[in-house]
């Protein structure tokens, strides 16, 4: 398999960015999501000891699971939820208590869609894992130090997942995980497997778990020259600097190395996915027009990277290898690009979304049905005037752009 593929991630926050009406959104996301997720569901192993994984990709189950959760939250298809839960069972069996970062983070996604997100078996597993690490010989610091022996960009992706998962359950040593992520990021350079991808994943994790402030990334003095004088606050701008601009081949995608000129290699799907997730998280924390424009361009490029039968290729040009993992990762980023109140995911907010909301009016137990098919916009367990007001506000804002 391509060496880049061990680096996977997941999202525990359903980040939403308000995309304005633009011809950059080439087609509605709903059909694309359904094609990817249906293919993954249909080709998942449904029996035997590897039930819940995918052929030849058992070690990458976490990112595919997270993608299926995103698909469930967007499409409310119970088959997608069941697929994700089977994957969670497989991870528990395969990991035997020692989880990859993407796997433990995937369990937090299952916790999010449980009937009680604050008290469920998936969350308990994550809590127990970080407590166990803290109580192990040498504690959390010793455990984290093992990541320093891993290829830097791979280590960053693992740590990014761990950081988000540790903060999700409010682990006692969560700040240690975040501190080490910054330290390992400073070691990533163009000799790494995929530096831009690592930058995107780190930005995604760091912006969700603390401020992007004036903290030095290169504070230890042992990092790569690229990071000299760089601050956490610089991360979104650094991502923007690696996006392929209009008029260039692969526009909207991202270069895979920090150093690049016109004609440099670009267009890898995973670089675009993780860089976009970093930009979306940054926009959610601090909306800026330049970030929105970049996200719209990335969105268009990502949508073009999915084939008509739901396959996601190694490159956005639909060239290279095809792996189930790419599909899971693509579902994750598409889930983070959904417009608020766009209940049928057609890239607009209109009367169709209103009809869906009305059909769930005053429904109860919304958490059991992916928040009443998305109509419970504030996720308080019911569909009422608060949700109607939120939809009306989004409808007016969206239509006025």
In the chain the domains, ranked by start, together with CATH numbers, are: 3-338 (1.50.10.10), 345-401 (no CATH)
Exposure string for 369-394, b = 16+ CB within 10 A, e = fewer? ebbbbbbbbeeeebbeeebbeebeeb
Region of poorest pLDDT, from 20-29, 44-53, 86-95, 221-230: 20-29
87 pLDDT higher than 90: yes
The confidence score (pLDDT) of residue 352 equals: 74
Percent of the chain with pLDDT over 90: 68
CA distance 298 to 293: 9
Mean pLDDT over each residue of the chain, to the nearest integer:
88
The confidence score (pLDDT) of residue 393 equals: 80
Burial class (CB in 10 A: 0-12, 13-18, 19+), 23: exposed
Region of poorest pLDDT, from 40-49, 199-208, 278-287: 278-287
27 pLDDT higher than 90: no
Q: How many helices and strands (H and E) does the chain possess?
A: 16, 0
Question: What's the average model confidence in pLDDT over 49-65?
Answer: 97
The pair of structure tokens assigned to 187 is 């070691």
Axis-axis angle for helices 101-112, 61-75 (nearest 10): 20
Per-residue pLDDT band at 1 (split at 50, 70, 90): very low
Question: What's the average model confidence in pLDDT over 130-146?
Answer: 97
11 pLDDT higher than 50: no
Q: When comparing pLDDT for 243 and 10, which is higher?
A: 243
Question: What's the average model confidence in pLDDT over 282-308?
Answer: 91
Look-up: residue for tokens 């598409």? 334
The confidence score (pLDDT) of residue 399 equals: 64
Region of poorest pLDDT, from 54-58, 284-288, 381-385: 381-385
Q: When comparing pLDDT for 23 and 391, which is higher?
A: 391
The confidence score (pLDDT) of residue 368 equals: 61
Per-residue pLDDT band at 24 (split at 50, 70, 90): very low
The confidence score (pLDDT) of residue 370 equals: 72
Neighbours of 214 (CB within 10 A): 9
The confidence score (pLDDT) of residue 18 equals: 39
Q: How far is CA 318 from CA 1, 268, 301, 314, in A?
A: 17, 10, 11, 7
DSSP-based three-state secondary structure for 114:
coil
Q: When comparing pLDDT for 226 and 379, which is higher?
A: 226
């Amino acid at each position: 398999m391509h060496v880049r593929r061990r680096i996977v991630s997941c999202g525990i926050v359903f980040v939403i960015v308000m995309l304005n009406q633009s011809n950059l959104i080439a087609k509605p996301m709903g059909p694309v999501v359904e094609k990817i997720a249906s293919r993954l569901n249909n080709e998942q192993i449904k029996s035997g000891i590897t039930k819940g994984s995918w052929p030849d990709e058992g070690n990458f189950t976490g990112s595919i699971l997270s993608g299926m959760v995103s698909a469930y939250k967007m499409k409310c298809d119970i088959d997608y939820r069941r697929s994700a839960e089977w994957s969670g069972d497989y991870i528990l069996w395969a990991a035997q208590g020692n989880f990859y970062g993407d796997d433990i983070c995937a369990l937090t996604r299952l916790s999010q869609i449980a009937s009680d997100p604050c008290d469920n078996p998936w969350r308990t597993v994550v809590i127990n894992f970080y407590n166990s690490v803290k109580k192990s010989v040498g504690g959390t610091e010793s455990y984290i130090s093992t990541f320093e022996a891993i290829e830097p960009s791979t280590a960053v992706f693992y740590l990014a997942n761990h950081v988000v998962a540790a903060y999700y359950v409010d682990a006692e040593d969560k700040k240690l995980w975040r501190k080490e992520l910054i330290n390992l990021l400073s070691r990533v350079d163009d000799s790494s497997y995929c530096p831009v991808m690592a930058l995107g994943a780190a930005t995604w994790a760091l912006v969700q778990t603390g401020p992007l402030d004036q903290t030095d990334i290169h504070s230890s003095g042992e990092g790569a020259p690229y990071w000299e004088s760089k601050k956490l606050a610089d991360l979104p701008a650094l991502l923007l600097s690696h996006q392929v601009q209009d008029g260039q081949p692969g526009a909207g995608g991202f270069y895979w190395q920090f150093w690049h000129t016109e004609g440099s290699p670009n267009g890898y799907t995973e670089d675009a996915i993780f860089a976009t997730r970093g930009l979306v998280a940054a926009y959610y924390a601090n909306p800026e027009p330049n970030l929105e424009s970049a996200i719209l361009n990335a969105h268009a490029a990502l949508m073009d990277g999915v084939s008509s039968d739901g396959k996601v290729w190694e490159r956005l040009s639909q060239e290279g290898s095809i792996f189930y993992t790419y599909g899971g990762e693509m579902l994750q980023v598409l889930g983070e690009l959904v417009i608020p109140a766009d209940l049928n995911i057609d890239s607009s907010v209109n009367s169709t979304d209103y009809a869906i909301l009305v059909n769930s009016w005053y429904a109860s137990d919304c958490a059991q049905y992916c928040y009443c098919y998305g109509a419970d916009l504030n996720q308080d367990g019911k569909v009422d005037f608060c949700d109607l007001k939120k939809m009306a506000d989004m409808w007016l804002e969206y239509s006025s752009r």
